[in-house]
Amino acid sequence: MDSFLVNSPHSTPKVGFGYGIIHSKKVYIYVQEDPCPYQIVITGPKSTGSGQYEYIVITNWTKFPLVAMTRDLAQFNANYRNKLIQRFRNEGYIHEFSELVFFFFLN
């Protein structure tokens, strides 16, 4: 998050949300006014009882952060977690940087 001034050094400050990613010796800077720029990229199976998804995965165009939201954590860990981690690796959602973050939070 950063604040900036528009049109004049004495104008009212505005707030921008964003971050930078370094990839292949290039820097990508992403700033936008929307503080929650996420899209659903994966949906789990629908519950037979409620008809609602068991889990969803959201991310943004940089594929970081990657967030899974589930209705039942124990069921998610038992039935879906390992398959999703492999899918994330196969589809490029888990890479060198995110692997380090993933390892750090699990240990």
Which amino acid is residue 44, in one-letter code? G
Predicted TM-score (pTM) of this structure? 0.59
Residue 107 pLDDT exceeds 60: no
As given in the structure block, the two tokens for residue 6 are 């528009």
Question: Each residue of 26-61: pLDDT tens digit?
Answer: 877 766 666 667 889 999 999 998 999 999 999 877
DSSP 8-55: STTSPPEEEEEEEEEETTEEEEEEES-S---EEEEE-PBPTTT-SBSE
